[in-house]
Structure 1
Amino acid sequence: MDPINEVHVSEPGLVVVDVAAADDETALAFQQLLAERWATASAQHTTRDVGQPGVWLRCYLDLRQPLDS
């Protein structure tokens, strides 16, 4: 994964979440659970590392902005 950009964690409540999962469906489902609770900049797809198992995904959350259920 790329290094975390300082602007994404420049204030309390801003979070960068790196997800490693067995498959696309699992990673995207986890991201959806986060997006249902907080303002989230979601990834549209996962990343695979050649020769490595599983997938990666990075999303950004703002815990200062909880969403109503």
Structure 2
Amino acid sequence: MNPINEAHVSEPGLVVVDVAAADDATALAFQQLLADRWATATAEQTTRDAGQPGVRLRCYLDLRQQLAAAAVADPTMEPNTARP
């Protein structure tokens, strides 16, 4: 992976996340979990390092820009309509 550029972490709340995972699906799923919560510059694909197991990817988060709670909610959850 390329070195982290000073601009990527120039202010509090900016984060560089390097992910190592067994496979593409796992790495991209983890990245999506981050992107569902915070403003994230996502990677389109993973990389493989010769002689190293698994895959890697890098994404950039801006923790200052948290997404609205409605966007973060699990879309598979049913609304709670039960009354006490």
Q: Which residue of 2 aligns with 1:13?
A: 13
Tell me which amino acid in the other structure corresponds to 1:54.
G
Tell me by how many angstroms 1:58 deviates. Answer: 0.1
Q: Which residue of 2 aligns with 1:45?
A: 45
Q: Which residue of 2 aligns with 1:26?
A: 26
Name the count of aligned residue pairs: 69
**Moved runs in structure 1, 4+ residues, more than 6 A?**
none
In our comparison, the structure showing a higher alpha carbon Rg is 2
Give the TM-score of the pair, scaled to structure 2. 0.80
Which of structures 1 and 2 has the larger relative contact order (alpha carbons within 8 angstroms, sep 6+)? 1
The structure with the largest strand share of the pair is 1
Aligned sequence identity (%): 83
Structure 2, unmatched stretches of 5+, are 73-84
Give the TM-score of the pair, scaled to structure 1. 0.97
Q: Which residue of 2 aligns with 1:57?
A: 57
Tell me which amino acid in the other structure corresponds to 2:57.
L
Find the aligned partners of 2:26 and 2:48 in 1 and give their Cα distance.
14
